[in-house]
Each structure stands twice: as structure tokens, then as C-alpha cells.
Amino acid sequence: MKKNIYLSIIACLILFGFQACSDSFLELKPKGTDLEDNYYRNRQEAYNGLVAVYDVLGYQSPSYVTKVLATSAASDDHYAGGGGSSDVPSVQAWSSYDLDPAVGPQEDLWKRNFMGINRANILLSKLPDIPMDDNEKARFEAEARFLRAYFYFDLIRYFRNIPLIDHPLVGDELYEVVQAAPEDVYAFMESDLNAALPNLPIKVDATTEAGRVSQGTAKALLGKVYLQQEKFTEAAQQLAAVNGEPGGTSQYGYRLLDDFGDLFAVDNKFNSESILELSFTNTSVGDWGCIDCTEGNVLNIMVGPRGYTAGPDAPDYVSGWSFLPITENLADLMKGDPRYPYTIVDMHQLEAEGKASYTPGYMDTGYFLEKFAGRESDRWTGAGSFELNFPQNMYDIRLAGTYLLEAEAIVRGGGDVTRAAALLNAVRGRVGLDPVAATLENIKRERRIELVGEGHRWFDLVRWGDAAAVLSDRGFVAGKHEVLPIPLLELDNTLLEQNKEYGGTK
């Protein structure tokens, strides 16, 4: 939403009160309820409510847990890293598969997504009575439905057994929530997305509405929802509409960037490859008093080399906190690939050339995530703490990813392998690599290399059934670690049940 998205902190405080921005969705009466009862009187207040729902996409918890940080640390591409084994312990527990109901990232991941669902439900319940243009009201409703489906899609993949809540909870309802059958949650997501599609714009204006969802965004998510259920024909159909002719410009204006490295240029926001993008800014003056209030990208400081000192001709990385060191296995796989220098900071090479030095952190490999490593050139010098005010956006869905998802759906569903090969090789051709056959193994390999550090690998491994094979040395147990435990807080005085993998009955 360009500059308007940065009003989200104010909208959050007006609509939900200070504590409701981070408290459990099962809190009996969140602070700010009385304010919310008197809100949503006109179009502007409805718009502010919509911004507040969007804002949860970029939620960063006070303990630094984010979707990308946590899921990347759990994959075979990264270790948790940081300063030691107790540095962000919830992420360490997932990375080493020492998860239990009391220790892990589950509370933050649950909180983030149900916060978004709660805000969407409030807006959807208020919209019918708001005096405003009917067409714009229909669009607001469609966006809220999309966002609700998005948050449910993350939750169902993390936890499997989750409540299905389609309206604001009041009174005793808060204690009577039960978990829904997973197939019912998937059907609900499909319903929300299909209902949203007709009322979303085909394209959004990148100048005035950047960050808002379009029909292409909704079809991309719907394709992912179908693929997760192994509805391969339906998934391929939705994703084909998003992708268009491989290598060309789709009906929604999406097109692969010519240069892979341009994807991660900080000033190249909302480009033609972006389908769903998380927006960050360096103007929110975020500081240590409220880490989750900042609108800056905290991951930038977290993934840089610790104790980094630059010499002549060295990259201008900010000395970071050494989270998400890249595994030797991934670094070896990528050596020789044209995407390597845009993906991996190779401190071995920089030290060997006498250009830079660093201090090894926990589980150090010498390889760091170039895509999101903070730079001195992006360092904020205004009010607030510079560590919390990096402006780099992040992709949640981008076109190369949907190309490869469609190719996967085609191959697994016995579809047109000629199109699957065209999609796969458009991604490879963008970086000058020769064509390969459209096999599932080639598609898996390409997704791994193309999307390093963007938060997809763990989900991919679980969807393919490959997680146990590649993560067993980290402690991953087949039949258990494909899901997270339900947070203990959510089990207290409620009807929710713990997943059986963690000692429960669900």
C-alpha cells in the first residue's frame, strides 16, 4: 500500500488497543474492544481496518521470531545460528528438533496468524453496515477474505489441528472453540479465495496501491492450497492463469526479471516478479522499547556476519547477529550456479582474499544469506535504532516460485510435461543455465536453489515427504515433526487439544 501501509501501527492501536497487537486471540476481553465498538463509521475507518489486517503480514515478535526466520532455521538449508545455543531459544529448538509443547516457535507463529484472522473477522463483520461505495466495499471484503485464507494456510501447515473461526469471538465463545477437521479448513480457504476473486482488481497500481492483493495474488494462493491437498489439476489450472506463457508477461502483468540479482535490490520494490510482498520501511523510528512495533525489517541485522570488518573492496555488510548460517550441503550444491553470489555471503573467500574478516557465531559455516544481509548503504541514521529499521521488502510469493509450483503440479498430476519443462527452464534460462528435463527431482532441486532463505524450503520438504530423509541428522522424526505442537497458552482453560505427536489426543 506504499506510504499508507505505514499507518498500520496507528490503526492497530485505535482498533485493538496496545496489548491486542500481541496477545493471544483467546484473551477474554482484549484491551481496545470498547474503542472497536465505536469504530468503522465510514470509508476511512474501514480502510484503516483493512490496513491493520495487512500489517500482520510483516509481524515480527518481540522475541525476533518471524515466519522466514523460523521455517528457514528448521530446513536443511540453514542452522539457527546466532550467538549461542540459547540465542532465540524457540528457533534453536526447531532447528535442532528439540521441540516440545513448552519450547519452540509455535506461540509466535500461532499468535501472528490468529491475530490476522481476528482482524479480518472484525472488518468483515463491520463492513455491511458501513456507508461507502458498494464496489469499494466489495473490494475490501475480498481483500479481507484473501488475507484470512492466507493466515489459515500457514496455520494448517504448521499445526494441522486448528480452530476454524469465521467471526469475532465474544463472551463464552472464547472458551468454547474447538479444532476443526483439516479438510474443513481447506474447504473454507477455497471458499474464501473463490469468493474474493471476482471483486479483486486484475492489477493494482504500483504507484498508489503497491502491496494490495489482486486476482493474480488470490489465484496464486489458491493454487498453493490445491497443491498442498494434491489436487494437481486444479492447482495447475490456477497457477497457469498466474504464470501465463513461460518467459512472457502474464495477464496480471507478472514477468520474470531479466537479472536474478535485481530481485534483492532494496529499492526494487513491487517489481514485475512480485505477487505477494511484505512491506518494510526505515521511517517507523522503531526502537528497543517495542520491537514488534517497528515497521523495519529485523531479519537484515539478524542474518549478517557477526563482527564483520570490511577492508578495501569488500562488500559493505553491517556487522550482524549471524543467524541462519547456510549449511555446507547447500553451499556445495550451489557452487558454480550463477545465483550463488546473489544468495550466499562466502566469508571463506572474502577472508582468503584479505578483503574482510568476521567472528564465527554459533554453528558457523562461514556462509551467510546474501539476499537479506544488511548493508551500510541501507543503514538508518534517523530516530530509532538502526538495527530495527532496515527497509528491504521480502517476497512471500514471486513468479519464479509459481512457475516451479505449476511445473510440480503438472508432473505429479500427469499433465503436459512440455509446459512443465518450459516453466522449469524459464527459471533456469533467466540465469543462463541449460535446459533440463521436467522431472520431479529437477523441479525440487531448482526450487531449493532459486528460493534459498525465502521461507519455502521446510514447507516443500514436508509436502514432498522428504523432510525425514534430509533432516534426520538434525533430529527430525518422521510422523512427528511434520507439525508443531499447539502452544501451551492456547490449551489453558479452553477446549483445544494437543496434537498426538506431542502427547495429546488430537
What residue numbers bound the domain in which 121 lies? Answer: 2-240+484-502
Per-residue pLDDT of the chain (506 residues; tens, 9 = 90+): 332 332 333 333 334 432 333 333 233 333 444 466 778 999 999 999 999 999 999 999 999 999 999 999 999 999 999 999 999 999 999 999 999 999 999 999 999 999 999 999 999 999 999 999 999 999 999 999 999 999 999 999 999 999 999 999 988 898 899 999 999 999 999 999 999 999 999 999 988 999 999 999 999 999 999 999 999 999 999 999 999 999 999 999 999 999 999 999 999 999 999 999 999 999 888 899 998 889 999 999 999 999 999 999 999 999 999 999 999 999 999 999 999 999 999 999 999 999 999 999 999 999 999 999 999 999 999 999 999 999 999 999 999 999 999 999 999 999 999 999 999 999 999 999 999 999 999 999 999 999 999 999 999 999 999 999 999 999 999 999 999 999 999 999 999 999 999 999 99
Split into its structural domains, the chain has a count of 1
- Tell me the C-alpha distance between 136 and 134, whole Å: 5
DSSP 502: G
DSSP 487: P
CATH code, domain with 109: 1.25.40.390
The verdict on residue 192 lying in a domain is yes
| Residue 23: predicted pLDDT | 33
C-alpha dist (Å) from residue 130 to 417, 423, 429: 50, 44, 50
For 318-380, the DSSP string reads PPB--BSPBPHHHHHHHTT-TTHHHHEEEHHHHHHTTSEE----TT--SEEEGGG--BGGG--
| Residue 371: predicted pLDDT | 98
The verdict on residue 437 lying in a domain is no
Cell numbers at 247, concatenated? 518467459
The verdict on residue 170 lying in a domain is yes
Residue 331, C-beta contacts closer than 8 angstroms, at least 6 positions apart: 344, 346, 365, 367
The verdict on residue 415 lying in a domain is no
The verdict on residue 319 lying in a domain is no
The verdict on residue 276 lying in a domain is no
- CA-nearest of 271, 146, 266 to 196 is 146
As to burial, measured by CB atoms within 10 angstroms (0-12 exposed, 13-18 middle, 19+ buried), residue 468 is middle
| Residue 284: predicted pLDDT | 87
The verdict on residue 395 lying in a domain is no
Q: At what angle do helices 182-196 and 215-228 cross, to 10 degrees?
A: 160
Cell numbers 535490490 correspond to 265
Q: Are strands 367-369 and 344-346 parallel, antiparallel or unpaired?
A: antiparallel
Please report how many Cα atoms fall inside a 13 Å half-sphere around the Cα of residue 420, on the Cβ side: 26
The verdict on residue 175 lying in a domain is yes
C-alpha dist (Å) from residue 32 to 21, 92, 102: 10, 34, 29
